[in-house]
Amino acid sequence: MKRIYLDYASATPIDSRVLDFSRWYLEDMVGNPSSLHSLGLQAKKAMEESREKIAGFINAENESTIIFTGGSTESNNLAIQGCSLRNTGKGKQVAASAIEHISVLNPMKYLQKNGFRFSLIPVDSQGLVDLEQLEDIVTKETLITSIMYANNEIGTIEPIKEISSLVHEKGLYLHVDAVAAGGYVPLDVQKDNIDLLTLSSSALYGPLGAGVLYVKPGIKLQSILPGGGQERGLRSGSENIFALVGMGEAARIAKKERAKETPRFQNIRDSLIDGILKIDDSFLTGHPTLRLPHHASFRFSYIEGESILLSLDMYNIQVATGSACSSRTLEPSHVLLAIGLKHEEAHGSMVLTLGRSNTSKEVPHVITAVTNTVEKLRDLSPLYKKKK
């Protein structure tokens, strides 16, 4: 039985073109970018070329705004802690939407334990940030407000430009976690007036172990990883040249192919949504139209998401239930609770995220497998009564 992988939001394979492009830096490259000899200068040149590609990918002012990190969690921590600790003279409040990734929420909770005020901004039932509440919560003492570009669990895309205007009118700096959106929707930090933006290499079909934090010119951060002073003194440590070069190439490919891939993803996504919503007591989570083109998320009454995941795996179909980063806890997704679902409703979630390997030919098999799985699990559930 052919594998159908539908969990690209959790893990994305490295693109073979990216691997071919950057393989030499893994197998033969020995230069350290901080070294002044020819091999060191060669490594530095490759890294700066990658920085230029990523700056172009998000329409940054220049390549010096791109800070390389070890991944998106580190980028989020550098943005939130670095901005807050560096600018305490301007205020001691931080804020985030209630559906942010835990790599945003936990650094803010850490700051809260160390004297900062932390405010959660509510969202509506479809995951859109409540702009009136944002306007009430954010003040001139709010150092950083973090709103993700799009949610990885429910797919909703936020009105970032409008949010940016409100944040800069009421508070100070806007951080945007764009990991889920990178490669699937156009990103323009200048047009949207974004101060800090996080990207992940692996979400772009690049190597694991690399991330980026865009820092708008003039924004001051404090390093949270002191050492040798690499990356403008903000992120010390010898650079992973293979991963950073690969990330730049992955961003270039994603930008080039986005216009072609987006409608293809949308067609597959919409076919999956149409077929799966024919199942009784099934519901789409997230916004019906303002959602990522490759993202379809559902909830099913009377059954558990973990059971759906494990049952579909026996069909050789891999899906998710909630975020992979919080899958070790049995608690329901904080995202689903934030959009107003009850605990028992939030437990029955399923997330399908498409990638380059998926085709429209897989849709009928996926719909049949999901339908059979839901029916089987409901037959075993003491809470479900078949409709006559």
The pLDDT assigned to 238 comes to 86
Cα separation, 2 vs 5, whole angstroms: 10
Active site residue 83: no
Cα separation, 334 vs 327, whole angstroms: 12
Catalytic residue among 190, 325, 344, 380: 325
The pLDDT assigned to 322 comes to 73
Q: Is 147 helix (H, G, I), strand (E, B) or coil?
A: coil
Closest to 217 in 3D by CA, of 191, 188, 193: 193
Q: Quick count: other Cβ atoms within 10 Å of Cβ 346?
A: 23
Mean pLDDT, consecutive 10-residue segments, the chain of 388 residues? 93 96 88 85 93 98 97 98 95 97 98 97 98 97 98 98 97 97 96 98 96 97 91 90 96 97 98 98 97 98 93 97 60 92 92 97 98 94 65
Both tokens of 243, joined, read 């991963």
Cα separation, 68 vs 112, whole angstroms: 27
Closest to 120 in 3D by CA, of 144, 94, 140, 142: 94
The pLDDT assigned to 33 comes to 85
Helix, strand, coil percentages (3-state) for the chain, rounded to 5, are 40, 15, 40
- Are 51 and 68 in contact, with CB atoms under 8 Å apart? yes
E-strand spans in the chain? Answer: 4-5, 66-69, 93-97, 117-121, 142-146, 173-177, 196-200, 211-215, 282-284, 295-300, 317-318, 349-353
pTM of the model: 0.95
- Are 32 and 229 in contact, with CB atoms under 8 Å apart? no
Both tokens of 17, joined, read 């073109």
Task: List, in order of start, the domains of the chain with CATH numbers.
Answer: 4-11+258-380 (3.90.1150.10), 16-253 (3.40.640.10)
For tokens 């040149």, name the residue: 45
Both tokens of 210, joined, read 């690399």
